[in-house]
Structure 1
Amino acid sequence: MIVNRTTFNKGIIVPSLLFIIGVCLLSVFFPTLTVTLLDHVKNFIFVNLNWVYVWGVTIFVLFLIYLMFSKFGNIRLGSNDSKPEYSFFSWISMLFAAGMGIGLMYFSVAEPMQHYSSEVFSANHYINRAKNAQLYTFFHWGIHAWAIYGVVGLALSYFAYRYRLPLSLRSCFYPLLKNKINGKWGNAIDVFALCSTFFGITTTLGFGVVQVNAGLQTLGIVPESSFTYQIIIVGLLTLLSIISATSGVEKGVKLLSGINIITVIVLLLFVLFLGPTVYLIGSFTEGIGNYVNNFFSLTFDTHVYDEATLPWFYNWTILYWAWWISWSPYVGLFIAKISKGRTIREFVAAVLIIPTLFNFIWMSVFGNSAIWFDVNIAKGALSALADNPDALMFRFLDYMPLSDLVSYLVILIIVIFFVTSADSGIFVMNSIATKNAAKSPKWQMVFWGALLAILALMLLNTGGLQALQTMTLITALPFSVIMLLFCVSLVKALIIDRRYYDRDFSVTTVPWSGEFWKDRLKQIVSFKTKESVESFIKGTVRQAFDELCREFKDNGIEAKVKLLEDPAIIEIEISHGVVNNFIYGVRNQVKVVSDFVISEENLPDIEDKKTFFPKSYFGDAREGYDVQYFTKNELISDVLKHYERFLEIISEEKNEMFVSSNANENLR
């Protein structure tokens, strides 16, 4: 009975589960063979097609920067009058926790130390090695990584909230595929996104469990790092993730993300002020300058002239680009879920700059502290552990005051980071599998959490986790091409969107005649009460709309007039089966009069700082204006000129994509 109550879409869930379970079983029963075969494919891609990643990521960065500074930046992700659903702090906390999460804890010490200890840089002086370690860490965790997430998140947000399409990757192809996104092509895109998300979260779960186990062993809480303890850790983490996911974004994910960002800042400040503070501030400052100066050379560098560095390039930069791209369906979907109401400029600026800046501070504080300790105190002990990132963070903390207490805090942060990644991942996977169903039974969330835990444990036990990670990296190549098509699709839609709202009235329309100029002068210099404006709306405006409505019906057009008493609002609506029906309305609007006008002797007296006026509004959320000086006939004329504009727009073939909602309704 419970199974029948499901919102899963068979065209998505069945092929996805077959592929996910099939790949995982191959990795479990034939781990060596699977890893060998997948490694061959991955190496071929990295060696021969690495330029696809380099150019793709470069285009994503330049594309988002262009949108941020272009005329499209003011377009809102939703209707023109929509407002953000979450506060700025909650929004940033959630996208940050979902976007980087546990990786910051796993690589904050390990990556700078590995670059510092790498044979590629070993011939350089200590200073150059330390600078390069920071520079490449910034490069891999900076604007380029967030541009990948930003492209997917922006495309999803725009088409979901502006075009009113489902929050699904298939929707991003609407300008290119039109109604075909309802069929097999759309299902194939969603299947790809679901599998990619599942593989990414499963591998993250595996690595996170290993690091937590290593931390507990370091603290003496568990005697060893074994599969038995990993089962317990996976069970607890998955349970917490399911509880958080079933409580919804507004409760579980938002609450944990807020707690985590505060805890992370506390840990950051602890290391900053009790570590080599002056060295850290100086190295961060110099690191930012080094990053800015080398930004374009790093972006386009393919290491083709220095063959000795090519293996490092494949195993670091290209691997990172592939990893971020493979994660982008999941992170992009979650970012889109929480970004309704933001403008494109606000979205891009926040997604590119704020998390990047925090990552730079975080990596500088932990990575440079580890290098400083390694040179001045540990005498190479930390760099000797560069190949053991599971334990490196905790060994680094041994050189800090209150190391045991701080290690507990690190484990807590890792746990919360994992839970925030997993619960948002569970939420996203269920959203993809149900084609963004409004409400799903909670057992579906439990199903995804249990499947994650079971397959992650099977892979951990048999050593098949590496095969799954490699498979995830391979899927990044086709998805990078898909993301480039997202950019094309988004540009096409934005051009039509901008043209729609910039369309002016017909040149034949004339706002006023001079026939009633004396009455208008009296109106201009007088201040209206709420009652007088209501009288105007219920009298002049109502008469105009009723007369116009009768004339529309005489011409075979079905129009209706709606009147609300409190507050006084009246509108005339004509249904056309498009994104925005034609609506022309008038509402009673209040504004505060300045003290200067109140005290101005050359104007009539006004006792109250508030004055009222009738303001027009429209079905497509364009900005209205004051209509208090219009006569009945002029109001009729004003409605007709807007209706003329509306008909011109919907009749043009190039605007069909934006205004047609027949397909949209089928997708809701």
Structure 2
Amino acid sequence: MFKTTLNKGIFVPSILFIFLVSFISVAYPQVADAVLNTVKNFIFVNLNWVYVWAVTLFVFFLVYLMFSKYGKIRLGDNDSRPEHSFFSWIAMLFSAGMGIGLMYFGVAEPMQHYASEVFGLTQYVNKAKNAQLYTFFHWGVHAWAVYGLVGLSLSYFAYRFKLPLSLRSCFYPLLKNKTEGRWGNVIDVFALCSTFFGITTTLGFGVVQINSGLKILAIVPDTTFVYQVLIVTVLVGLAILSALTGVDKGIKFLSNLNVILVVCLLLFVLTLGPTVYLIGSFTEGLGNYINNFFNLTFNTHVYDAETLPWFYDWTILYWAWWISWSPYVGLFIAKISKGRTIREFVVAVLVIPTLFNFIWMTVFGNSAIWFDTHVSGGALSALAGNPDALMFRFFEYLPFTQIASFTTILIVIIFFVTSADSGIYVMNNIATKNALHSPKWQTVLWGALLAILSLLLLNAGGLKALQSMTLITALPFSVIMILFMVSLLKGLSIDQSYYDRKFSKSTTPWSGKLWKQRLKQIVATKNRASVQVFIKTVVQEAFLDLQLEFAKSGVIAHLHFDEASSTLELEIKHDLINNFVYGVVPASKKVAAYLIDESNLPEVIEEGTYFPKAYFGDTRESYDIQYFTKNELISDVLKHYDRFLDIVSEERNEMFISTNSYEKEE
């Protein structure tokens, strides 16, 4: 029998939309690219402030969580611990988040900024500093804050609230059970399509870079489509094999291997390149980034019209790109982050990858700029528009060129495979609503779809149209991510309140002596009538006994009963200081709807549960006294009266205790 775990409400609309967009991009690539590019440009020009503000909020929100009381909350049960070692965890989130991009833009972006005259700078020092500064900006904290917010939201609601590892779960505090219905499916369809389009375009561009490197090394004769088909077939086949083995085996092994290779390549360039220059430029560049952090964050270039096209093509495009990729990367980060604390998660996701990116971009980008100025005579900057080949041409100015180039291709291939296999894994999770055991053919299906559609789009020239489509989806998703913050704050507030909730004050005097009576009170129906009976019996008897004893000591205590509100109040009046007041009033609180039909809980009525609430003659917080016996209530009143006398005896409290005297004088 044909077995599947695919959810029809998610898979069918997703696959139809993916096929529709892909068909249009393949059949009419120029038209699709023109239309989608027009929409993208309109958004970038007129709504770029949405991206700027959204990404800025993400950064500050995560920093706030890192230093707040919520930082100690664990992504899972309080006693849960991480499933992966710290190294493997960092390696996997890094491979999924930035992999191919670092290899593609490590030399290309700094060199393109350096070669650009958009800022009107001609001096080498200023151009080199700005190239490094803006590269840091685009690949730093802001990028990882986007991924971190989605990953944290998913991890928190999946492992703390025991909800499915799905974007719909991030709305649970706002939508509650509606997340299981149509709205939840819409959110997951959006996430699945966004993930598919993002991975497809990235893999398409990755294949071009691999093909270009293989040609430079004379492994393949040219960069024709035939060789690209072979590359995709082999690499996606490896990705499927890796995805079938699961996160704990294939994906973890490849991620760990790649990080080791990346560090080796980094040390190779640092050691054999302009070492002293690189260490100094990294130090100065880091300081320059920190000093300009707020200016870069809020800069919209509105006062400098000449730089606006650059701003749209770089900063806004990057923000849109990170946001559009965040459903996929966030889901994968969440999958591997169970057991971490929020503080540990934020520090690791924001700081460690950011610092590594800075080191990588400095070593490769600044080396290329140094070689371009001091060795090649501008040959590398002339290739700035050809990023597919730039990394490999850069290695020609270092010893062991062939070894470095082979290593680069191997790293790109592994990044290609890890991006594809983690993408396959995530897409199947979304489409199946996190089914535990899916048949293997579904993994093969997602891999085949990625391979076929990326090749069709690459051959027809439709990748740019699909890229524009992906960037357009970033606008609505940025709004969705802002709602993630609201939902996460609400969830964290409830979480903190739950674990910090102290025992009710009404249980303070308890001992085991009256336990049967206490149990009957706990499970009894708590409606308004039962509270009124409590006030007219226990409270009234306690207040009458107190009134009598106060009178024996020469203190006059008045009792006031309001029939309409069933409020009973004991008051001791004074001439120069505030009156002492201890009152009891019926109060109510709403209860969760799911408790009404719960058979193994005390009876709950639809309008909520009632309790007698004690209040006082000042602004102190009132509390529940429903379990007090008469003598315990008398004791509580006397505690407050003792506190009252202690306070009024201190001269410094005059402002708080003498307001009644002014009212009497008036």
TM-score, structure 1 as length reference: 0.78
| Partner SS state of residue 382, structure 1 | helix
Among residues 67, 70, 82, which one is paired with 1:69 in the alignment? 67
Question: Does 1:398 find its partner at 2:410?
Answer: no
Q: Distance in 2 between matches of 1:166 and 1:5?
A: 21
Letter in 2 for 1:460: L
Question: Does 1:145 find its partner at 2:143?
Answer: yes
Q: For 1:366-386, what per-residue CA distance to the aligned partner results, in whole angstroms no more than 9, with x for missing partners?
A: 000000000000000000000
Letter in 1 for 2:261: T
Q: For 1:391-419, what per-residue CA distance to the aligned partner results, in whole angstroms no more than 9, with x for missing partners?
A: 00000001110001110000000000111
**1:443 counterpart residue number:** 441
Native 8 Å contact 1:153 1:336 kept in 2: yes
Question: Does 1:407 find its partner at 2:401?
Answer: no
The offset of 1:652, in angstroms, is 5.6
Task: Give aligned pairs, total.
Answer: 535
Q: Distance in 2 between matches of 1:247 and 1:159?
A: 26
The offset of 1:512, in angstroms, is 9.4
**2:422 counterpart residue number:** 424
| Partner SS state of residue 398, structure 1 | helix
Q: Indicate the structure (1 or 2) with the bigger Cα radius of gyration.
A: 2
Question: Does 1:321 find its partner at 2:319?
Answer: yes
Q: For 1:471-506, what per-residue CA distance to the aligned partner results, in whole angstroms no more than 9, with x for missing partners?
A: 000000000000000000001111111111111112
**2:100 counterpart residue number:** 102
**2:297 counterpart residue number:** 299
Among residues 445, 461, 474, which one is paired with 2:459 in the alignment? 461
- Superposed counterparts of 1:625-636, under 5 Å: none
Native 8 Å contact 2:108 2:390 kept in 1: yes
- Superposed counterparts of 1:470-481, under 5 Å: 470-481=468-479
Native 8 Å contact 2:107 2:368 kept in 1: yes
Over the aligned positions, Cα root-mean-square deviation in angstroms equals 2.3
Q: 1:358 to 1:510 in 2, by over 3 A?
A: same
Native 8 Å contact 1:77 1:158 kept in 2: yes
**1:42 counterpart residue number:** 40
Q: Distance in 2 between matches of 1:658 and 1:396?
A: 66
Among residues 76, 85, 88, which one is paired with 2:86 in the alignment? 88
Native 8 Å contact 2:119 2:307 kept in 1: no
Q: Distance in 2 between matches of 1:85 and 1:550?
A: 47
| Partner SS state of residue 502, structure 2 | coil
| Partner SS state of residue 303, structure 2 | coil
Question: Does 1:224 find its partner at 2:202?
Answer: no
Q: For 1:144-192, what per-residue CA distance to the aligned partner results, in whole angstroms no more than 9, with x for missing partners?
A: 0000000000000000001100000000001111111111110000000
Native 8 Å contact 2:239 2:420 kept in 1: yes
The offset of 1:438, in angstroms, is 1.0
**2:605 counterpart residue number:** none
Question: Does 1:342 find its partner at 2:335?
Answer: no
Q: For 1:78-131, what per-residue CA distance to the aligned partner results, in whole angstroms no more than 9, with x for missing partners?
A: 111111111111110000000101000000000000000012135331100000
Q: Distance in 2 between matches of 1:41 and 1:493?
A: 36
Native 8 Å contact 2:320 2:475 kept in 1: yes
Native 8 Å contact 2:212 2:223 kept in 1: yes
Q: Distance in 2 between matches of 1:431 and 1:385?
A: 41
**1:285 counterpart residue number:** 283
Q: For 1:195-238, what per-residue CA distance to the aligned partner results, in whole angstroms no more than 9, with x for missing partners?
A: 00000000111000000000000001111111000000000110
Among residues 53, 56, 81, which one is paired with 2:54 in the alignment? 56
Letter in 1 for 2:40: K
Native 8 Å contact 1:79 1:161 kept in 2: yes
**1:250 counterpart residue number:** 248
Q: Distance in 2 between matches of 1:92 and 1:306?
A: 39
**2:537 counterpart residue number:** none
- Superposed counterparts of 1:522-561, under 5 Å: none
Letter in 2 for 1:455: L
Q: 1:548 to 1:96 in 2, by over 3 A?
A: farther
Question: Does 1:273 find its partner at 2:271?
Answer: yes
Letter in 1 for 2:266: L
Among residues 170, 173, 179, which one is paired with 2:171 in the alignment? 173
Native 8 Å contact 2:75 2:160 kept in 1: yes
| Partner SS state of residue 422, structure 1 | helix
| Partner SS state of residue 78, structure 1 | coil
**1:525 counterpart residue number:** none
| Partner SS state of residue 58, structure 1 | helix
Letter in 1 for 2:83: E
**1:192 counterpart residue number:** 190
The offset of 1:246, in angstroms, is 0.5
Native 8 Å contact 1:215 1:391 kept in 2: yes
| Partner SS state of residue 74, structure 2 | coil
Native 8 Å contact 1:496 1:658 kept in 2: no
Native 8 Å contact 1:90 1:258 kept in 2: yes
Q: Distance in 2 between matches of 1:476 and 1:654?
A: 38
Letter in 2 for 1:295: F
**2:638 counterpart residue number:** none
Q: 1:269 to 1:340 in 2, by over 3 A?
A: same
**1:608 counterpart residue number:** none
Q: Distance in 2 between matches of 1:483 and 1:95?
A: 19
Letter in 2 for 1:47: V
Q: 1:499 to 1:655 in 2, by over 3 A?
A: farther
| Partner SS state of residue 504, structure 1 | coil
Question: Does 1:211 find its partner at 2:204?
Answer: no
**1:622 counterpart residue number:** none
Q: Distance in 1 between matches of 2:235 and 2:593?
A: 48
The offset of 1:660, in angstroms, is 12
**1:569 counterpart residue number:** none
Letter in 2 for 1:218: I
Q: 1:658 to 1:346 in 2, by over 3 A?
A: farther
Q: Distance in 1 between matches of 2:434 and 2:20?
A: 25
Native 8 Å contact 1:78 1:340 kept in 2: yes
Letter in 2 for 1:278: V
Among residues 7, 22, 27, which one is paired with 2:5 in the alignment? 7
Q: 1:400 to 1:52 in 2, by over 3 A?
A: same
Q: For 1:445-493, what per-residue CA distance to the aligned partner results, in whole angstroms no more than 9, with x for missing partners?
A: 0000000000001011111111011100000000000000000000111
Q: For 1:529-575, what per-residue CA distance to the aligned partner results, in whole angstroms no more than 9, with x for missing partners?
A: xxxxxxxxxxxxxxx9xx99999799989xxxxxxxxxxxxxxxxxx
> Structure 2 stretches of 5 or more lacking a match?
525-587, 600-666
The offset of 1:658, in angstroms, is 12
Q: Distance in 2 between matches of 1:53 and 1:661?
A: 45
| Partner SS state of residue 77, structure 1 | coil
**2:360 counterpart residue number:** 362
> Structure 1 stretches of 5 or more lacking a match?
514-543, 558-650, 663-668
Q: 1:107 to 1:296 in 2, by over 3 A?
A: same
Q: Distance in 1 between matches of 2:116 and 2:83?
A: 46
Q: Distance in 2 between matches of 1:86 and 1:553?
A: 48
Letter in 1 for 2:196: F
Q: For 1:36-69, what per-residue CA distance to the aligned partner results, in whole angstroms no more than 9, with x for missing partners?
A: 0001100000000000000000000000000000
**1:585 counterpart residue number:** none
Q: Distance in 2 between matches of 1:161 and 1:122?
A: 51
Letter in 2 for 1:16: S
**1:135 counterpart residue number:** 133
The offset of 1:507, in angstroms, is 2.8
Native 8 Å contact 2:52 2:297 kept in 1: yes
Q: Distance in 1 between matches of 2:279 and 2:51?
A: 33
| Partner SS state of residue 161, structure 2 | coil
**1:164 counterpart residue number:** 162
Native 8 Å contact 1:170 1:190 kept in 2: yes
**2:529 counterpart residue number:** none
**2:306 counterpart residue number:** 308
**1:579 counterpart residue number:** none
